[in-house]
Amino acid sequence: MISSRGREFERRIPCNQLVIARPPLQVQSPSMAPAGAHLTLQQLIDALTYKVVAAQKKAKQTVHGLIEQIDELEKQLQIAAARLRGFRNSLQPVHRLPPELLATIFYGTQQHLPSFFPMLNDGTVSKYDEHHRDWLSLLHVCRRWRGVIASSPFLWASVDTSLMLEKFLKRSASAPLTLYLGIRKPGISEKVLDATLRYSRRFREFHIAVDGWEGGTSIYPRLCAADAAPHLASLTIMTEGRDVVGGVLPPLFNGQMPSIRQLCLAYFTSWPAGLFANLTHLCLHDQSDVGRMTTSEFLDFIEQSPRLEELNLIRAGPIRPDASDAPAPPQDRFIPLPHLRELDLGDWPSVTIISRLLSHLVLPKHTNMYFWGVPFRDPDQDFGKLLPIDNSRLANLHNIKKWYLARQPLVILDTPCISVAGSVQTLYMYGTFSASQIESVLPTYPLHDVTDVGVRDSCARSNRLTSSNWKHIFQRLPHLASLRILAFGSPSTTRSVLQALRPKSDNDRVSTVRSKKSGSDVSSKSSESDEDDDEILCPSLTTLGIEHDATLPAYFVSTIAEARAKRSCPIKTLKVLVYHGNPFGIVRPPSPVTAVSDSDTDQEYQMHTEDDMQLFKRHFEEVVFEKDQPLSMDVVPRTWPTRAYEWTRRIDW
């Protein structure tokens, strides 16, 4: 049945005017508006419905061949429906935001790589993924968003040769460009290279894996012939030496890169004088054996960049043997780097070569130093020679307050390292250090002011440090106030460390005196040894931390506390770190054969812990059980592994 409203429209719009082939409706002035423009949208919908029904009846009776006209009308209706949806979307709260703010929000959804070491921050995963494409889905949300994105050049300024290169270059307009050539996806064609180099004056970052070059001739003449790059701030060149002659990097971009501040070079050992100056970030890695700099030449180079913040030399830099490092720089030549935050030297041939460079640097107190790799696996290296004899110009070595010593067996050792975190006044030693190697560092490392020590000895029982070794260590720590023994599952380590801190009992001291009076032949050296044995080591030690497990030698720990209390050097606070056995909440399936139920095990563990608690409370003023702790925290810096390590070792290019 046709409503009265429909009959009204039938009188106003004759049925034979239903199908009208015309271009999509455009917004017109009121005087040029089409018939029916004065009606409301609802009235138009009612009229349209009525006309469609009427036309359908008429077509069955008298009309034939209207398919093309109907298709055209349907197309126009789809356009109208799309505009209606756009009108509805425009009423949403998000569309009240100005376009500039919307564009900024869209920018935040993009995947942005750091300008120095352009890789994902999580070094445990693949170097890249496909999420840099995700933001393009915003183009399909609505017409307004699509318009905002298309008209915002900075959203298109990060250009990857594997993703719509020409469209990004066009839509980026005049925005500064970040270029990734052959980085995410290997391969650089001549067409791609020529298309990008035309915009060199807009380059802000340029990262290229040149070994993926697909041209028949060397890529470097093309890079050199390109126009100047006056705004280029970050340059990364990845190569294993393809088309490199003598390790020399030619003058890229016509030798005109005045704004370069961040430089990451693989393989190259030299470049035109003055090409790189005023750098803030520098990484040289995996250099060719040909043409490596001498120490003197390297000092000349970094002297041109007094504002260096990061210096990373991985299998690169002034690493010539002493015999070929000529001419040697004067002993009184020093290069101040007052802004240096990170010094990363990896896989250098020996610790003495590291010391050779350090002896010519002047570093601030906040510099973090990382030394790792090859020399720290060598059992014959003398780690006492790592630091220069005169380290007065290395302010980050002054006033070291914390020392973490972790010994790991070679079979489970990842990468041994020694680190000085000047920002937190901490020395870290992580590796398979022999007792003699540790003894060698004691007189040369800045340990005198250390107040906090953490130790972890995971080596085989036959190779662990003895109480005598620990005693020599503690003799170098007169101001030690806090000691953490990270020995989960290794009660013998806890015993060895604490035994070194046990003072002689009164009976032992009386026995020693009687032995001397009885005329025993005691040499002067032996007498001095007896006096040392009677010494109270680390008299300021007041806090002890240990890792708790079922084999915790609670009684032994209590006897040490009791013995020191009798000599007026009490350990007042005991912190027991209870390991979190399942920190990630993984639900494991039940074992098919279980001798003891989980509830019984938990109850037994709680009873054991309570017994330990009562015993400890009799010998310590304060006892704290810190539950759900991760295992052996802080044995390496929180900033380890460094991004330079990830870039040059774990990432498989």
| Every domain of the chain and the residues it spans | 4-91, 96-276
- Count of Cβ atoms closer than 10 Å to residue 489 Cβ: 12
The most confident of 46-55, 171-180, 410-419, by mean pLDDT: 171-180
How far apart CA 177 and CA 155 sit, in angstroms, is: 10
In this predicted structure, which of 3-7, 105-109, 425-429 has the lowest mean pLDDT?
3-7
Peptide bond into 641 cis (omega under 30): yes
The pLDDT of residue 200? 96
How far apart CA 176 and CA 203 sit, in angstroms, is: 6
The most confident of 21-25, 117-121, 642-646, by mean pLDDT: 642-646
3-class secondary structure per residue, 114-169? CCCCCCCCCCCCCCCCCHHHHHHHHHHCCHHHHHHHHCCHHHHCEEECCCCHHHHH
Of residues 596 and 552, more confidently modeled? 552
Of residues 486 and 155, more confidently modeled? 155
Distances (CA, A) of 84 to 102, 145, 398: 22, 16, 71
How far apart CA 402 and CA 444 sit, in angstroms, is: 16
Q: pLDDT digit string (tens) for 357-382?
A: 999 999 999 999 999 999 999 999 99
How far apart CA 35 and CA 48 sit, in angstroms, is: 13
Task: Quickly tell me which residue has 């040149």 as its tokens.
Answer: 210
For the chain, what is the mean pLDDT? Answer: 83
CA proximity to 323, closest of 361, 354, 357, 294: 294
User: Which residue type is seen at 158?
Assistant: S
Q: Angle of helix 4-12 relative to helix 41-61, nearest 10 degrees? A: 80
How far apart CA 455 and CA 444 sit, in angstroms, is: 19
Confidence band of 1 (pLDDT split at 50, 70, 90): very low
In this predicted structure, which of 119-128, 163-172, 466-475 has the lowest mean pLDDT?
119-128
Burial tier of 508 (Cβ tally within 10 Å: 0-12, 13-18, 19+): exposed
Beta bridge partners of 234: 205, 262
The pLDDT of residue 100? 93
- Is the pLDDT score of 473 beyond 50? yes
The pLDDT of residue 130? 65
